[in-house]
Amino acid sequence: MGLFPHQFLEDLKMQANILTVIQEYVPLKRAGTSYKGNCPFHNEKTPSFHVHPDKGFFHCFGCQAGGDVFKFLELHEKVSFPEAVRMLAQKFGVAVPELEGTTEDARRDSALREALLKAHELAAAYFREQLAAPAGGRARAQLSDRGITKDTVEELGLGFAPPSRDALKARLLKQGFAPALLVQSGLVVQREGGDIVDRFRNRLMVPICRDTGSVVAFGGRQMDEAQGGPKYLNSPETPIYRKSATLYGLNLTKKEIQSSGFAVLVEGYFDFAQVFQAKAAPVVASCGTALTAEQARLLHRFTKRVVLSFDPDTAGQAAATRSCQLLVTEQFDVNVLVVDKGEDPDTFIRRHGAKEYRDRLRTSQPYLDYVASREAASFDLRTASGQQEYLTKMIAFSQVIPDDTGKQLFAEKVAQPLGITSGEILGQFRKSFAKQGTIDRLLISFGDLKKSEKDLIWALIHDPGNAMAALDTLDGDDLQDLQGREIFELARSLQCDPASLPSVLLERLSDTKAQIVREIATNPGAPPFPPRQCAQALKRQRLERQRSAIKKQIDQLQALGAAEHSAEIDNLSEQLLSVAIRLDRDVTGARD
C-alpha cells in the first residue's frame, strides 16, 4: 500500500500555512492566538470555528469537525487524502514524490497520468495564446457575438485551435513529449498512413476540467459549418478523462453550489457560460451527453437539490425526463425549468436577462408535476387506449420514487388528467411493485445479497487491498446478475489507493447503497472466508447459471427434433463441456 513519505507531508504542511489556506474559503477574525469564523461544515450564526496557525489545526465547537490542513481540504473539497495532498502541493509548487511501497506498474501509471495532465495544461495555454493572436480574430468576434465577455473568456480558459495540421503537435514535441504519448492523450490523431496530426483544427476550444481544476480534455466547436466534421468535436476517453464521470464547470461553481444548496444542470458549454457569466445561479453542464449515474454521484458530493434547465425541444425535454428518473433514483430533490419554445438557457439569458432567468428558476416545477403534465400532453386521454398508455408510462416512472409521500403526490398528479381518484392510481402503483419487485431491486436489502457478496463488501471496507485484488479476477459477466453489482462496479472504477477506498466508495455511492455497505461493514468480526474465495464463489455461481441456461437450450432443441437441430445441439454441447471444465479447473472449492 503506497504512502506519502512522512517528511514530505510535514514539509508540505510547513509551506502550506493552514491560516492562508482556510482564509481562501472562510472569512476569519483574530481571537487571541487563534482565528475564528462561521463554520463551513454546518449552518451557524455565532462563530464556533477556530483555526490555530501556531499548532497547525482547526476545530469547530459546533459540529466537532477538526484536523490539519489536509483534513480541511478533504472535508471542504470532498476529496480523498491523496487528492488533498496533491491539490495542496500543486497550489504551493511543491513536487510530489513517489509513494512509498509503490509497485513498478503503479509508478508507470502515475508517471503517465502526470505527463498527460502536463500535456493538457500546455495545450490549454497554447489555445489561449492562439485566441489572443491575430489568427484568433474571428473566434474572438464569434464569442463577442454570443455575448461572452473578455473576463468570462479568461475565467473559462477559452481558446482557439488554428487550421494548422500539426502546430500543437510541434509545440508539444518541442517540450519533450513522445509522439506515442501525444496520440494517447487524444490531442493528436494518427492516420492510417502513419501521419500524426492535430485533432482540433479551426475550432473554438473549451477546456474541460476535473472538479479540482486540472484540464483533462477539450471540446472544440467548429468555426464554419462548411469546414466538415461534427459541430462539436470532443476529446476521446483517456487515462485521465472519462466523459461519463465529468461535469463541465464544476471546478468553477462547486463552492457556490455548496453555499447556495442547489445546482442548475444544463446541457451545453455555452448554456453554462451564459448562466455563469450572468451569475444567475450555480451551474454545471453534463458535457453534452446524457446524464450518467457517475455524474449524478459526483454532483451529490456538493448538493442534493438540482434544477434541470434543458432545451424545450422534444429531445431536450425527453433528456430532462430521463435525467429526472436518474436523479430521483440517486436521492436528489429535483425541479425542472422550461424556457420558452425556440430558446435555450444561452439564448434566453441573452434576450431576456439574468433577472428573468432567476424568476423562472423560482417558479420551476417539481419533477412530479413536470413529468405528469408533460407526459399527459403526449397522449390522447380522450381515448381508453391513450389513457392506458399514459398510465403504463407513469407506473414505470413511479418505480424510481423512493418514498411513500412522493408516490402519493405523484398519484395525485397522474389522477388529475384521467379524472379518477389518486387512490385508484396508487393502487395501480402498488400492484406493479408487488408484481415486479421493483422496490426490492432499487433499494436492495441486506438479506437480498448472497453471503459471498456480503463478505466481499465487508472486505472492501476492512481489507480493501485484498478485496480489490479479488474483484480484479472477476469479469463483467460475473457481476451481471448480482444485487451488489453497482457497489462492486463503482469500487473497480475508482482510481485511488486502497487506504482511501472505503471513504471514497461510501462518498460516491447513493445514500441507499452506502447505508447497506455501512450495515455490512459494522457487523462484528471478520467474514469466515477471504476475498479471493468470495470472488471464486461469485464466478462459480455465474458459470452454474450459464451451464443451466445451455442445458435448457439443448432440452428445447431436442424436444423440437434432435436430427433437425443436431449441429446446434453439438455446438451447445461443446459450450457445456467448456463451462464444465472451467467449473472444475478454475473455481474448485469455492463456496456460496
Tens digit of each residue's pLDDT (9 = 90 or more) over 373-412: 888 888 888 888 888 888 888 887 777 776 777 778 888 8
CA atoms within 13 A on the CB side of 314: 2
**Lowest-pLDDT range of 51-65, 145-159, 450-464, 513-527:** 513-527
Query: For residue range 202-246, what is the model confidence (pLDDT) as tens digits?
Result: 999 999 998 878 899 999 999 988 888 889 999 999 988 988 889
Strand partners, 160: 204
Q: Assign 362 a pLDDT band (cuts: 50, 70, 90).
A: very high
Distances, alpha carbon 485 to alpha carbons 18, 444, 456, 471, 490, in Å: 41, 11, 11, 11, 8
> Do the Cβ atoms of 497 and 82 come closer than 8 Å?
yes
Quick one: which of 444, 427, 429 has its CA closest to 517?
A: 444
| H, E, C per residue of 16-35 | CCHHHHHHCCCCCEEECCEE
Alpha carbons 205 and 218: distance in angstroms, whole number: 7
Alpha carbons 455 and 503: distance in angstroms, whole number: 18
> In this structure, which topology does domain 250-363 adopt according to CATH?
Dna Topoisomerase Vi A Subunit; Chain: A, domain 2 (3.40.1360)
Supply the CATH classification number for the domain 372-442.
Answer: 1.20.50
Quick one: which of 240, 238, 236, 200 has its CA closest to 220?
A: 200
Residue 36 has pLDDT above 50, yes or no: yes
Strand partners, 404: none
Q: Which residue matches cell numbers 475564528?
A: 36
C-alpha dihedral sign at 507, 512, 514, 518: positive
Of all residues in the chain, what percent carry a pLDDT higher than 70? Answer: 90
CA 286, distance to chain mean position in Å, is 9
Homologous superfamily in CATH for domain 6-91: Zinc finger, CHC2-typedomain (3.90.580.10)
Q: Which residue matches cell numbers 461534427?
A: 230
Letter for the amino acid at 445? S
Domain ranges of the chain: 6-91, 104-241, 250-363, 372-442, 444-592
Helix (H) or strand (E) holding 205: strand 203-209
| Chosen CATH of 104-241 out of 2.40.30.10, 2.40.50.140, 3.60.20.10, 3.90.980.10 | 3.90.980.10
Alpha carbons 560 and 564: distance in angstroms, whole number: 8
Q: Give the dihedral of Cα atoms 300, 306, 309, 313; nearest 10 deg.
A: 80
Q: What is the pTM of this model?
A: 0.62
Alpha carbons 309 and 587: distance in angstroms, whole number: 51
Distances, alpha carbon 337 to alpha carbons 300, 360, 389, 414, in Å: 20, 7, 26, 20
What pLDDT shows up at residue 441?
A: 35
Of all residues in the chain, what percent carry a pLDDT higher than 90? Answer: 30
CA atoms within 13 A on the CB side of 211: 27
Alpha carbons 394 and 368: distance in angstroms, whole number: 10
C-alpha dihedral sign at 444, 446, 451, 453: positive
Q: Assign 436 a pLDDT band (cuts: 50, 70, 90).
A: very low
What pLDDT shows up at residue 588?
A: 44
Quick one: which of 231, 210, 211 has its CA closest to 219?
A: 231
